[in-house]
Every structure is written in structure tokens, then in C-alpha cells.
């Protein structure tokens, strides 16, 4: 079956609508005037449909832009979180290295945890001066914001 062009389909539909409507009413317009009116009405509806499609496309583009911005923001937050974890790991390694350089602290099992630049020291120290030295050494590492020394003194 051959497909009719869109214009021909619209005209045929408009003509059929006109003939059907002309059967049920008496008006003084000629068949040509009625056909012109039906075509104009069909064109108006087609123009409105085009405008609706354009509006829908604009809304879809805007939604895609917003979604893209949300995705970028989420990726940026994820990248920042990874960078923070890497920085915290570097701080922990540096604090462990500083503690290992000290003869009185290197033999001890000191657990170093870092979160957001805040360092926690857990374990034991042989005396109060070694405990204080651990705090100073940890504080001297670049990127350390604070030190929570929870080392227990055990002589």
C-alpha cells in the first residue's frame, strides 16, 4: 500500500470532516469556504503540535543539562572523598615514619589513624615523656590538623 504525503492526508482528512459537518448544519458558506476553514483549522492544530514538540524538546534539553550538572557534582564529590582518603593515608604513613625514627617509640606498637587530618594515636608508651614526644612528632607532620593521643603509659 502506498503512503500518502502528510499534506495530502491533512487535506483529505479536512475535506472529509468538512463534508460530514456540512451534512448536519445549514450555513451560508460555500463548500470552498468550508474547506478553507477546515484546512486553516488543521494548520492551526499542526502549528500548535509543532510548538508543543519544541517546548517538550526544550524541557528535555534543560533536564539533561541539570542531570549532567548533578552527575558532575557527584563525580566531583567522589573525587574529593578519594583525595581526602589518599591525603589521610599519606599523613598516617608520615606519622608512622616519624615515630619509627625515635628510638624509644620505634619498638612500640602504636596504632595511627587519620581522618580529615585529625590523627589518633592508640597503644602504649613507656613513660609520660615518650607519650608527649609521640604527640609532638605527629603534630610536626604536614597536613595534621590535630592529634588525639590515647597512648597509655606503662612502665
52 lies in a domain?
Answer: yes
DSSP assignments along 99-113, one per residue: HHHSHHHHTS-EEEE
Task: Let me know if 82 is exposed, middle or buried by CB neighbors in 10 A (0-12, 13-18, 19+).
Answer: exposed
Do 63 and 69 touch, CB atoms closer than 8 A?
no
DSSP state of 30: -
Q: Indicate left, alpha or beta for 123 from its phi (over 0: left) and psi (-120 to 50: alpha).
A: left
Residue 1's pLDDT is what? 47
1 lies in a domain?
Answer: no
Quote the pTM value.
0.54
Domain around 133? 6-16+31-153
Residue 17's pLDDT is what? 65
105 lies in a domain?
Answer: yes
Residue 28's pLDDT is what? 75
**What is the number of structural domains in the chain?**
1
22 lies in a domain?
Answer: no
64 lies in a domain?
Answer: yes
92 lies in a domain?
Answer: yes
For 137, other C-beta atoms within 10 Å of its C-beta total 21
25 lies in a domain?
Answer: no
- The rounded average pLDDT for each run of 10 residues, N- to C-terminus, in the chain (155 residues) is 58 65 63 76 80 83 80 77 81 87 77 92 90 92 94 84
Tell me the CB-side half-sphere exposure of residue 21, using CA atoms within 13 A.
14
87 lies in a domain?
Answer: yes
Amino acid at each position: 500500500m502506498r503512503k500518502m504525503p502528510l499534506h495530502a492526508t491533512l487535506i483529505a482528512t479536512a475535506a472529509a470532516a468538512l463534508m460530514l459537518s456540512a451534512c448536519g448544519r445549514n450555513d451560508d458558506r460555500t463548500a470552498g469556504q468550508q474547506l478553507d476553514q477546515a484546512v486553516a483549522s488543521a494548520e492551526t492544530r499542526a502549528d500548535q503540535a509543532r510548538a508543543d514538540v519544541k517546548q517538550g524538546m526544550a524541557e528535555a534539553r534543560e533536564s539533561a543539562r541539570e542531570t549532567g550538572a548533578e552527575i558532575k557534582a557527584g563525580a566531583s564529590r567522589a573525587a574529593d572523598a578519594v583525595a581526602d582518603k589518599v591525603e589521610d593515608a599519606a599523613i598516617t604513613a608520615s606519622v608512622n615514619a616519624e615515630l619509627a625514627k625515635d628510638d624509644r617509640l620505634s619498638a612500640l606498637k602504636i596504632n595511627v589513624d587519620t581522618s580529615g587530618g585529625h590523627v589518633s594515636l592508640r597503644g602504649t608508651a613507656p613513660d609520660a615523656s615518650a607519650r608527649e614526644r609521640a604527640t609532638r612528632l605527629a603534630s610536626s607532620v604536614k597536613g595534621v590538623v590535630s592529634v588525639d593521643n590515647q597512648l597509655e603509659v606503662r612502665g
